[in-house]
Structure 1
Amino acid sequence: MKPTLLMAPQLPQGLVTQLEAHYRVLGPFSPNDPTALPVGAEEAVALLTIGGLPTRAALLDALPALRLVACYGTGYEGVELAACRERGIAVTTAGDANATAVAEFTFGLILASARCLLQGDAFVRSGRWQGNAVERMPQVPGLAGRRLGIYGLGEIGRRIARRGEAFDMEIGYFNRSPRAELDYLYHGSLLELARWSDVLVVAVRASAETVGAVDAEVLAALGEEGHLVNISRGSVVDEEALAAALEQQVIAGAALDVFAREPEVPERLRQQPNLVLSPHVAANAASAQQAQQQVMLANLEAMVQGGELRNRIA
């Protein structure tokens, strides 16, 4: 008899097909309502989820056979780790499987915001481009010699930093603690980093401590030539404060791949011409998706066979 897996979100069909060859796959379902589980969920030995979805004690209690919570991506902020440890349930993530894809996408957002790529596209499409002598796009500072501040220097943050070096940017960061092995300028607070930065990238892991961390004070410190890029989680940025900062030209621009209540994007943000919007697709590269899927498949096999789990956090 195949082991039973419970899938919270709809995972990529190619992965589901591979899973169904070895497991009985139930779901998707809403983890917000543990009383509305699929028939047979009590037999599930593994829960397949993503970090932004809640995996709370009540859900774990409804799954008595559960041995593993496998997060498809790198986040795990929705998983109640203490409850998992108490019940002897392992928790894994995809580790750095998508870090390169996210880092390269981040620089796409940096360029789109700081070099006004979307404004240039609209300028040409509108027919206003009649040659440089008639009407020109406004000049921008560029990136070379500018300061790239990274809030959260984990696997993704470090890859963003390396790409910033290739653009001849100075690199600074704020982390829970300095990374002594890296030759970048450490700042003692997010506010201090924002004051220093020309481009501030949010790459920190989502947690209760980081909710709303990028607030009106941080945005004011970033300043009128500054750009904010968020590829972390929408919860880290105060969206009302960001909308106000863009409206009042407190900062020059911003680019967001993540939002607080996805897929909802506040109308006030959608109306900002100096804001680049992206539908949470930084990791949507074939290489990254395949790598994430291989980690999940390997961890499920290890759970069944009694092997060592990869990227275990609990």
Structure 2
Amino acid sequence: MQPEILMVGPMLPQTMQSLEQTYTVHRLWEAPDKPALLAQVGPRIRGIATTGSVGARTEIMAALPRLEVIAVFGVGVDAVDLAQARARGIALSTTPEVLTEDVADLALALMLSVSRRIVQYDAYIRSGQWPKSGEPPLTHKVSRKKAGILGLGRVGKALAQRLAALDMEVSYYDLNPAPELPYRQADSPLELAQHSDYFIVTAAGGAATRKLVNQEILQAIGPQGYLVNVSRGSIVDEEALVAALKSGALAGAGLDVFASEPHPDPALLEMENVVLQPHMASGTLETRTAMGQLVLANLAAHFAGKPLLTPYVW
């Protein structure tokens, strides 16, 4: 008999098709009455397939007494009840490495877009303003500036390499220092902000980093500085960010993630010094396909009695 899987949120069509060819899959997000579905199939569910942003909440996991494994399509686990998973001995996998380059690429793209006003000047041409108004205002240089990376994990390191290629002065803050790397280590997030023209958030989400980027840090980045976030919206105090952008305390922002998705603060939508993306840092066909394959491989390994390929490290 095929193991029964609860899919909490949608993935690539080919990933979902492969899951349904191998397992009995129940699509929670499509259920008109989710508690009723959990009550009906919960006692039979042995695995969860989910995304990093949707995760596996406490109430869902509690409704699955036979749950053995959670396979996350992504690297973030802040939406998974880790305490319950650990206490129950539930295996947990993510999809690291395969998305690192794309996320780092988008962080750099946001830096360039917001500084050089690429999105705004594309609209300037399309709206017919160029022949009417002439050359628009000058923008700001990116290369040879100071970049501060909050969180020097896989993505942070990949981004640092890209920024170094632009001759930027790269600093970072991380609880796990990397003295072997040629980047300046800051003493605190605040000190990092004080030393940054570009402050890029690549740290992990969760309770420990909630609203870590607050008013004080935004003020420290300064009126000539930019914030870029490709990690989790929860890390930035979005209300303080909006206030800083409105007041000119911050030059601009490039955001792929938001405090409440898919509903960013409406004020951000009206700002020309902000470039927005709909949580698409890993959103290339190549990477999402590789992520789906890794989800499938981890589930297959677990149900074959083998170690997970990419287990979450507690």
**How high is the TM-score relative to the length of structure 2?**
0.94
Provide the rounded CA distance (Å) in 2 between the counterparts of 1:84 and 1:100.
Answer: 29
Mean Cα deviation higher: 53-62 or 19-28: 53-62
Instruction: Tell me the equivalent position of 2:20.
Output: 20
Matching of residues 157-196 of structure 1 within 5 Å: 157-196=156-195
Deviation track 1:55-87 (CA, whole Å, cap 9, x = no partner) reads 344432321221101111110001122211211
Mean Cα deviation higher: 58-67 or 167-176: 58-67
Specify every segment of 5 or more residues in structure 2 that has no aligned partner in the other structure, as ranges: none
Provide the rounded CA distance (Å) in 2 between the counterparts of 1:105 and 1:213.
Answer: 22
Provide the rounded CA distance (Å) in 2 between the counterparts of 1:144 and 1:59.
Answer: 47
Instruction: Tell me the equivalent position of 1:68.
Output: 69
Deviation track 1:223-271 (CA, whole Å, cap 9, x = no partner) reads 1111111111111111111111111111111111111110011111111
Letter in 1 for 2:2: K
SS at match of 1:130: helix
Residues 187 and 26 from structure 1, CA distance in 2 versus in 1: closer, same or farther, beyond 3 angstroms?
same
**How high is the TM-score relative to the length of structure 1?**
0.94
SS at match of 2:114: helix
Instruction: Tell me the equivalent position of 2:198.
Output: 199
Asked whether the 8 Å contact 1:73–1:94 carries over to 2, the reply is: yes
Provide the rounded CA distance (Å) in 1 between the counterparts of 2:80 and 2:102.
Answer: 24
Provide the rounded CA distance (Å) in 1 between the counterparts of 2:300 and 2:47.
Answer: 11
Provide the rounded CA distance (Å) in 1 between the counterparts of 2:170 and 2:36.
Answer: 48
Matching of residues 120-269 of structure 1 within 5 Å: 120-130=121-131, 135-269=134-268
Letter in 1 for 2:302: M
Asked whether the 8 Å contact 2:55–2:77 carries over to 1, the reply is: no
Instruction: Tell me the equivalent position of 1:45.
Output: 46
**4+ long deviations beyond 4 Å:** none
Asked whether the 8 Å contact 1:203–1:232 carries over to 2, the reply is: yes
Instruction: Tell me the equivalent position of 2:109.
Output: 108
Provide the rounded CA distance (Å) in 2 between the counterparts of 1:29 and 1:135.
Answer: 50
TM-aligned CA deviation for residue 310 of structure 1: 2.1
Provide the rounded CA distance (Å) in 2 between the counterparts of 1:97 and 1:35.
Answer: 34
Specify every segment of 5 or more residues in structure 1 that has no aligned partner in the other structure, as ranges: none
Letter in 1 for 2:293: Q
